[in-house]
Structure 1
Amino acid sequence: MAAPLQRRVFDQATLNHFLDLYERSSRGPAFAERPSFLACDFSGLDFSGRDLTNFSAIGCRFVNADLSRSNLSFANLYAADLRGAILKNVDFTRADLRGACLRSADLGGANLQEASLERGALFFASIDGGFRDTAVPVKSAYYRQIHHLAPEPIRDTDMRGVILEHADISDSDLSFTDLTGANLTGANLTRSNLTGARFFGANLTGAKLQGAKLRQTNFVTAIYDSAQFKDCDISGTVFPREMPDFDAEFPRRLARHTRWVQSLGSEGERLDFTMIDLRGKKFDGLDLSAAVFTLSLLDEASFAGCYMAMAELNGVSARKARFDKADLRGSNLTRGNFTLANFQGANLGMMDIAGMHPMSVPTRLTQSCIMAANFDNAVLTGADLELADATEARFTSANLAGAVLINTYCYGANFRGTNFDNAVLTHVRGLEFSLT
């Protein structure tokens, strides 16, 4: 068997040559040599409509590539980077996608029957007998053999924001997979292993989950209207709660919270809406400082003009929610889904706390999904956006002085007139395109 092509960056013409060769060899004798690939870069290239049965592309990059309508059944895509890839109607039957990154990929109509999507990592054996992660920048001469270390899982499969509308994922293993913000409307997940999977802010409307393993699965902030859960193992599964008599109960809770704030915690009670379904509720102009909304469902809720300094909004689903002109200084918005949310004119800057030990607390948007959100004229001085997904977000005339953008995704974002003075911009994806 020929050695795989390693660590090459392909253009479309070169790729077409190898794909033609692969398809010809697939139609030939069973022992015909087929090209395989290891840690190569196919970003932005076109694979659409190709027959790539048994294709091997371990650790390769397919960022924003078009693989629509291709046949990748039995393919080995272990630890592949498929962020933003077009995977519509792809046949992934029994494909190995362990450790793959499918963040924001479009898998509408894809077939993932019996595909393997559990955790995985990519390691190489070195001449000293140890193992090195592919991310470690050492000379290629040290690498001799590829190893799959499935018994020692390293990282979850990243499927945040993927589109899987009406996709067939039956009998697949998605254990411990991160499906935050995924669109699984009408998807077939029957008999799949979803143990420990995270569905924060995911849409499972009409999904079929009959016979699925849902142990320790987290559906908090997920939408699962008309989903079918017959014969599921739901031991330890977490679902969001509804708040009965909200219109009567909320004013009482707000009054106790106001006393708690005014008395610096000596009276009243802090407002706590942890894991509560508050979709579409109106809170405009209220004082919700230091209120707790952890893991709550806030889609299309309105907090316009609210005072929410030091509030806890970590892990929420707040798609299309309104925070325009709200004061969110020092708030915790980590791992939330704020797709299409409105932060226009909001203050997400540092919160200065006086006292014997004065401090400045940054607003945290770490690992949050803020795709297509509106931050026009917003203040984000010192804000932490590490690992946030700001794809197609708007930051026109926003103030990001001193903000931290490390491994942040900014493809298609609008930064016209944005102030980046003293900002930390490290490995920011797509920023060079967003500034042009």
Structure 2
Amino acid sequence: MTRTPSLGDDGGFEWKRLAQQELDRALDLHEQFVGGRMGGQRANFLLHDLSYLDFSGRDLSNADLSGARLHHAVLEGATLRAASLFGADLTQANLRGADLTRTDLRGVHLRGADLTNANMVECDLRDGLLMRPDKKGNLVGIGQHARTTDLGSAILARADLSNAKMSNAFIVQTDLTDCILRNVKLVRADLSNSNLTGSILEGADLTEATFDGAVLHGAILIGAILSETSFAGADLAGAVFGTVDYGSASFQNALKPVHFDTLDITLQTLVRQHVDWIRTAGKKGRRANLTRIDLSGMKLAELNFSAAAFEFAVLARTDLQKCELLMADMGFADLRGADLSRADLRGVNLKRANLTGARLVAAKMNPVPIFGAVTQFWTSQLEHAKFVEADLSGIDMRKVVARSASFVKAVLRNADLSGADLQDADFTEADLRGANLEGCDLRGAIGIRQ
């Protein structure tokens, strides 16, 4: 066992260094302890230097790693349920798929760490001051002040942080794509310039939190507490706030959709110019560009918007029945409660669009032939789209690409999904009676029950 010199304002403290072989032996004993087997011993890595060591797939439930140094350590797939990592330094550690349920992460440093797909439900990420005994046996702090949990530049894509405590946490320039932050305490947390695309912040306490310059494309903030929350310069396109109380929240220079009524053009003129653009293959007229435009609740039934731009548009509760939307770009669009029954959506882009509660009865999303090509087709792109509780009865979704799409509680009776790419899609409680799933790629999909 060697010793590593300390860094920073820790009073000259030195961490105990373990070799990989010593670590493996300690982990074997700990797993015996967890399993209740004879000879087992709880792992105590208090103030140890475990940097660059491999813990992948090991069970560290209830282990003590308080104050441990774990720079670049590999903990991929490790189980750390209810373990203590109080004040630990996990800078650039690999925690992909790790189980950190109810783990004590107060004052931890996770700068640049990879927590993709990690389970962090109910973990504690608040401030913390690590103590150690001095030469006289008195407890003294390592450092002079409580350490703020540092998640700067970390990757938490698809991590589940439901009910976690993250008050005062430093989460700047962090990847929180598709992260579940339901009911999280983020009081006074700093999430400036972070990417929260597709994140779920339902019921989160964001009091005095800072989201300045953050990207919240398609984020769900229904029921969130926004008291003195700052969204200055944030990109809120596609973000769903529902009926939350904006209170004293600040949206200075935030990018939000603009209502159609504020545009210097009538709907009739816009449609006429767009149809001319289609008819003349772009030689006349003008393509309808409704990017970041709020068209919620409007009557647009039976209009031709083929190849139109609706990216980040708000189309909640909009009547789009029998619309021609061939190859339209509707990525990140808010289509909650919209009626797209019998609409022609062949070749459409609905990546990360929110169609919760929408009606798509007998709509068409099958491939569309590419103009001038005999055998080439354009397929509909639905990756990460939300069809939660949507009615897709009788829809034609042949060969759509719907990876990681959510069909939770959706009605797909008699839908044709043959040849579709449904990898990692969620069909929990979906009604698939009579649906055609022949030739589908269902790797990683859940809830399939015809």
Equivalent pair of 2:181/2:199 in contact (CA under 8 Å):
no
Normalised to the residue count of structure 2, the TM-score between the two structures is 0.66
Q: Which runs of structure 2 are paired with 1:235-314 in the superposition (5 Å)?
A: 237-244=254-261, 249-314=266-331
One-letter code of the match for 2:177?
Answer: D
Report the counterpart of residue 434 of structure 1 in structure 2. Answer: 448
Equivalent pair of 1:117/1:177 in contact (CA under 8 Å):
no
Question: Are the structure 2 counterparts of residues 107 and 66 from structure 1 closer, same or farther at C-alpha, using a change threshold of 3 Å?
Answer: same
Larger radius of gyration: 2
One-letter code of the match for 1:170?
Answer: R
One-letter code of the match for 1:111?
Answer: M
Q: Which runs of structure 2 are paired with 1:126-137 in the superposition (5 Å)?
A: none
1:17-60 alpha-carbon deviations (Å, 9 max, x no partner) = 79x987x969xx878x82599435368x9x57x87645788544
One-letter code of the match for 1:113?
Answer: N
Aligned match of 1:80 in 90, 115, 134? 115
Q: Structure 1 residue 296: deviation in Å?
A: 0.7
Is 1:346 aligned to 2:363, yes or no? yes
Question: Are the structure 2 counterparts of residues 326 and 73 from structure 1 closer, same or farther at C-alpha, using a change threshold of 3 Å?
Answer: same
Question: Are the structure 2 counterparts of residues 71 and 316 from structure 1 closer, same or farther at C-alpha, using a change threshold of 3 Å?
Answer: same
One-letter code of the match for 2:342?
Answer: K
- Secondary structure at the aligned position of 2:266 is classed as helix
Report the counterpart of residue 190 of structure 2 in structure 1. Answer: 172
Is 1:91 aligned to 2:106, yes or no? no
One-letter code of the match for 1:34?
Answer: D
Equivalent pair of 2:398/2:416 in contact (CA under 8 Å):
yes
1:139-181 alpha-carbon deviations (Å, 9 max, x no partner) = xxxxxxxxxxxxxxxxx33244x34457324233453323325
Q: Which runs of structure 2 are paired with 1:58-77 in the superposition (5 Å)?
A: 59-60=94-95, 67=101, 71-75=104-108
Equivalent pair of 2:302/2:320 in contact (CA under 8 Å):
yes
Report the counterpart of residue 335 of structure 2 in structure 1. Answer: 318
1:104-154 alpha-carbon deviations (Å, 9 max, x no partner) = 8463574342243644xxxxxxxxxxxxxxxxxxxxxxxxxxxxxxxxxxx
Report the counterpart of residue 111 of structure 1 in structure 2. Answer: 166
1:64-88 alpha-carbon deviations (Å, 9 max, x no partner) = x7936x64323466322446x5735
Question: Are the structure 2 counterparts of residues 159 and 363 from structure 1 closer, same or farther at C-alpha, using a change threshold of 3 Å?
Answer: closer
Count of aligned pairs between the two proteins: 375
Q: Structure 1 residue 275: deviation in Å?
A: 0.6
**Percent identity, aligned pairs only?**
17
Aligned match of 2:398 in 355, 375, 381? 381
Equivalent pair of 2:346/2:364 in contact (CA under 8 Å):
yes
For the residues of structure 2 that align with 1:372 and 1:169, how far apart are their CA atoms?
Answer: 32
- Secondary structure at the aligned position of 1:253 is classed as helix
For the residues of structure 1 that align with 2:445 and 2:303, how far apart are their CA atoms?
Answer: 37
Is 1:34 aligned to 2:64, yes or no? yes
For the residues of structure 2 that align with 1:278 and 1:386, how far apart are their CA atoms?
Answer: 27
Aligned match of 1:412 in 428, 440, 443? 428
5+ residue gaps, structure 2 = 1-15, 49-62, 127-147
1:370-396 alpha-carbon deviations (Å, 9 max, x no partner) = 444443332111212234444555544
Q: Which runs of structure 2 are paired with 1:169-208 in the superposition (5 Å)?
A: 169-173=187-191, 175-180=193-198, 182-183=200-201, 187-188=205-206, 190=208, 192=210, 194-203=212-221, 207-208=226-227
1:392-421 alpha-carbon deviations (Å, 9 max, x no partner) = 555443222222234x33262635544333
Q: Structure 1 residue 14: deviation in Å?
A: 7.6
Q: Structure 1 residue 328: deviation in Å?
A: 0.2
Question: Are the structure 2 counterparts of residues 223 and 430 from structure 1 closer, same or farther at C-alpha, using a change threshold of 3 Å?
Answer: closer
Q: Structure 1 residue 292: deviation in Å?
A: 1.9
